[in-house]
Structure 1
Amino acid sequence: MSGMGEVLAREALGLVGVPFRLHGRSVETGVDCVGLVALATWRAGHRGEAPDRYALRGGKLEQFEAWLKAAGLCRAAEMRIGDIVLVQAGMRQFHLMVFAGAGFVHAHAGLRQVVAMPGESPWPVLGVWRLPG
């Protein structure tokens, strides 16, 4: 386990309960899945950029992968604590979560907040990304 991954997981867990808001990037006004990852990585000391023009549905996998790479994240072969996990939550609907060890932290649109979800991902995992170092 990397120290940075543990810090990122801890920061993501600290955001549980933050309201959901599409394109949100703050604790006060809310976050979506991209905003959750951006805020947690920024709080962990990583200064990658986050996209701001995307929809909840209709995206392309290649675009999400390009955004993760542009944010300075590295593709990983296996999942470790603090990794960012790209999943397919529906038809042409991509979603980001942070692996926290016993489950995932993600911005849940239906529950309207950031939640900690125990267990394995209920959605197909398309890729695992990690902070450098």
Structure 2
Amino acid sequence: MAERRGRDLGARAFVRARRLVGARFRPQGYDPAIGLDCVGLVWAAYAAAGRRLVRPRDYPLRGWSRERIAQALAASGFAPVEGARRVGDVALIALAAGQFHLGLMGQTTFVHAHAGLRRVIETPVDQALSDAVFWRLGLD
């Protein structure tokens, strides 16, 4: 039963993330009306799906270690995914220059706040996600 609730919550969060496509990009942004960054998108999508999360604050665009990001995800109730990924899982992607990026996974697409395009977008799952670490929200 708990696994089903978790799957439903993740699916709802992904649907909510898709509704945010087109929202403006804003560093440290967590309000869809003002702008979102990748962290804000994940937190806003889960909040809209019915689950408020502890949101990290004052994080840099670059310079956090993978361990520190993992701690922030764990503090919000996420755990690393073992096995196949599911809709609503959060992808943690290591980018160049010590930058990490988050987004929500669908079956074949990925929703994320794209800094270069300055908005939230939905893209097909591609090779960039092959090295991603996936996280899933646990249930209390």
Q: TM-score if structure 1 supplies the norm length?
A: 0.93
Q: What pairs with 1:1-133 in structure 2 (closer than 5 Å)? A: 2-77=7-82, 78-123=84-129, 125-133=131-139
Distance 1:55 1:123 in 2: 22
Distance 2:45 2:131 in 1: 20
- Segments of structure 2 that go 5 or more residues without pairing to the other structure are none
User: 1:27: Cα distance to partner?
Assistant: 1.4
Larger Rg: 2
Q: Secondary structure at the match of 1:122?
A: helix
Instruction: For 2:99, give the aligned amino acid.
Output: Q
User: 1:120: Cα distance to partner?
Assistant: 2.2
Distance 2:33 2:118 in 1: 14
User: 1:97: Cα distance to partner?
Assistant: 0.9
Identity of matched residues, %: 38
Distance 1:90 1:62, change over 3 A: same
Q: Secondary structure at the match of 1:117?
A: strand
Distance 2:108 2:121 in 1: 13
User: 1:126: Cα distance to partner?
Assistant: 3.9
Instruction: For 1:111, give the aligned amino acid.
Output: L
User: 1:108: Cα distance to partner?
Assistant: 0.1
Distance 2:96 2:46 in 1: 25
Matched residues, number: 133
User: 1:119: Cα distance to partner?
Assistant: 2.4
1:85–1:125 contact (8 Å) kept in structure 2? no
Q: Secondary structure at the match of 2:92?
A: strand
Instruction: For 1:32, give the aligned amino acid.
Output: D
1:15–1:114 contact (8 Å) kept in structure 2? yes
Distance 1:132 1:53 in 2: 24
Distance 1:30 1:38 in 2: 13
> In terms of mean alpha carbon deviation, does 18-27 or 46-55 score higher?
46-55
Kindly provide the CA deviation profile for residues 90-127 of structure 1, in whole angstroms up to 9, marking residues without a partner as x: 13110001001111000000000000011225255342
Q: TM-score if structure 2 supplies the norm length?
A: 0.88
